[in-house]
Structure 1
Amino acid sequence: MSELTGRAPGELVQPIILLVDRVEPADRDAGIAAAALASVQAYLHDPGQAGWEPWAAGAFAKSVRRADAKMFAKVLAAFPDHALAVVGRARAAGLPPLPAEALPKLLAKLQVSGTQLPAGEPLALQPLAIVLNGSLDMSTGKAAAQAAHALFAWVLEAKPAAVEAWVADGCPLSVRELPAKEFRKGARKSAGPVIQDAGRTEIEPGSATAYVATA
């Protein structure tokens, strides 16, 4: 199933480009965190930019695409309004929303499905964490998109002072993946909305995928 399946004409999507180095790939959790941070930092850099308001008022769709080092550098050069997030060896670039059916060729040719990074070491625990539903067996790319949904939803719904304090502290973020029972239990005390996937790729529609938790 394509990620474009079921999209309405003119629907906006936020591209997030994840560096997947062929020689020294980043760890999975670092890549997921970088993608989520790139998404929200692109918005926080200029929330008044055209496209953000109608996009955020909808499903704030995202498309996580992978690029090797050469293509990643080309994306950074071609889109100067990107936000670059760095977590360990992981790098991700978040862009403002674009029409899903008319992505620039440089972005459109980047792969979406099958993006995987090695498990590696878990990130150090932080006061703000993205919690993922480990029972869904999501690819790195899918998990990154769901993490970005959860973090963006928290940014939109949290008290402005809480977001400002988090940004002032350098946007610390960790990623946790829990079994279904623990995920559901923690979701009752989540700091933001529990994300339910539209089911366009990998998992069933309505699956609860991610939420933000605070210490």
Structure 2
Amino acid sequence: MTGSDIPDPRDAAPQFVLPLVVRLEKDRPPARTDALQTAARAVLTLLSDERATAEDGEWTRAVRDWQDGRIRKVVRRARGAEWRKASTLPGITVTGESAEVRVFPPVPLDGWPRELVKLQVSGTDLDDPAPPAAPAPERPVLWLNPALEMTAGKAMAQAGHGAQLAWWALDDEARAAWRADGFALSVRTAPDPEHWSELTASGLPVVRDAGFTEIAPGPTVAVEGGQRICPLPRLRRP
């Protein structure tokens, strides 16, 4: 068998998905970069919540079951009454400068709550009113593959994957420090293919999408650490 023919043991486990909902009001859509960063912070907030980490936490079993399979995340959008209904379900709302994202405990792949299953998932796209500033060197950066075109919803899910890889790479002390800093991070597109190649060849955590939606299988996000928060490696560049 070729490598691609070898069964992935994660596929034998029951499959769960982590739902995220971004608030998308017609008259005040969030900036794209802020939505991506807020989604990543929402994933970290759930992963660090006692309801998901305590032995008897109400979300602990669902999170464990989800992590035993493929780490799926799906971003849907809501406005008005839809957002208010979604906000009544158990979950956590995380806010950015302009974005609001609510993350929910994992649910079976085919067992979404009715308040969420009706929400639109395709075509979620956003713009930045101005180019984002350079990322802060003291905090981690989730670099997006510059060769890929993704809707904002897909990119939010990928940013969430990158944040989760960073979380898994840290010890308890580093996790506590990052949480105390509000899980501050930056999401940026790598400026050019050369930079992206350096990132993916450096040994940094890299998200490799399975190719179920929008894009072909391959690397989507590389994670650099910060000088002060999230002490993962960082490339040295002139």
> Aligning the two structures, in what range does the TM-score lie when normalised by the shorter sequence?
0.7 to 0.9
Structure 2: gaps spanning 5 or more residues: 1-10, 54-59, 227-238
Aligned residues: percent identity? 32
**Separation of aligned partners in 1, 2:42 and 2:133:** 17
Instruction: Work out which of the residue numbers 107, 131, 135 in structure 2 matches 1:125.
Output: 135
Q: What secondary structure, in the 3-state scheme, does the structure 2 residue paired with 1:50 have?
A: helix
CA deviation after TM superposition for structure 1 residue 114, in Å: 0.9
**Separation of aligned partners in 2, 1:184 and 1:50:** 38
2:184 is the counterpart of 1:172: yes
**Separation of aligned partners in 1, 2:202 and 2:221:** 13
Instruction: Work out which of the residue numbers 104, 116, 129 in structure 1 matches 2:125.
Output: 116
User: Which is higher, the Rg of structure 1 or of structure 2?
Assistant: 2
Instruction: Work out which of the residue numbers 68, 85, 93 in structure 2 matches 1:57.
Output: 68
Q: What secondary structure, in the 3-state scheme, does the structure 2 residue paired with 1:43 have?
A: helix
2:56 is the counterpart of 1:43: no
Q: Are the counterparts in 1 of residues 14 and 69 from structure 2 also a CA contact under 8 Å?
A: no
Instruction: Work out which of the residue numbers 61, 65, 68 in structure 1 matches 2:79.
Output: 68
Structure 1: gaps spanning 5 or more residues: 1-6
Q: Are the counterparts in 1 of residues 124 and 153 from structure 2 also a CA contact under 8 Å?
A: yes
**Separation of aligned partners in 1, 2:80 and 2:173:** 37
Point out the more displaced range, 48-57 or 30-39: 48-57
Residue number in structure 1 paired with 2:207: 195
Letter in 1 for 2:167: V
Q: Are the counterparts in 2 of residues 129 and 174 from structure 1 also a CA contact under 8 Å?
A: yes
Q: Are the counterparts in 2 of residues 130 and 147 from structure 1 also a CA contact under 8 Å?
A: yes
Letter in 2 for 1:181: E
CA deviation after TM superposition for structure 1 residue 9, in Å: 8.3
Q: What secondary structure, in the 3-state scheme, does the structure 1 residue paired with 2:52 have?
A: coil
Q: What secondary structure, in the 3-state scheme, does the structure 2 residue paired with 1:102 have?
A: coil
CA offsets per residue over residues 20-74 of structure 1, 9 Å max, x none? 1211111100001111111221121122322111212332211111111431221
The alignment's C-alpha RMSD in Å is 1.9
* CA distance 1:154–1:204, shift in 2 (3 Å): same
Residue number in structure 2 paired with 1:3: none
Letter in 2 for 1:102: G
Letter in 1 for 2:116: L
Letter in 2 for 1:177: T
CA deviation after TM superposition for structure 1 residue 150, in Å: 0.8
* CA distance 1:162–1:114, shift in 2 (3 Å): same
Q: What secondary structure, in the 3-state scheme, does the structure 1 residue paired with 2:76 have?
A: strand
**Separation of aligned partners in 2, 1:17 and 1:137:** 21
**Separation of aligned partners in 1, 2:48 and 2:196:** 28
CA deviation after TM superposition for structure 1 residue 8, in Å: 7.1
Q: Are the counterparts in 2 of residues 20 and 117 from structure 1 also a CA contact under 8 Å?
A: no
Once the two structures are superposed, the pairs formed by residues 86-165 of structure 1 within 5 Å of their partners are 86-121=95-130, 122=132, 125-126=135-136, 127-165=139-177
CA offsets per residue over residues 137-165 of structure 1, 9 Å max, x none? 11111111011011012112222211111
Residue number in structure 2 paired with 1:4: none
Structure number with higher relative contact order (C-alpha < 8 Å, ≥ 6 residues apart)? 1
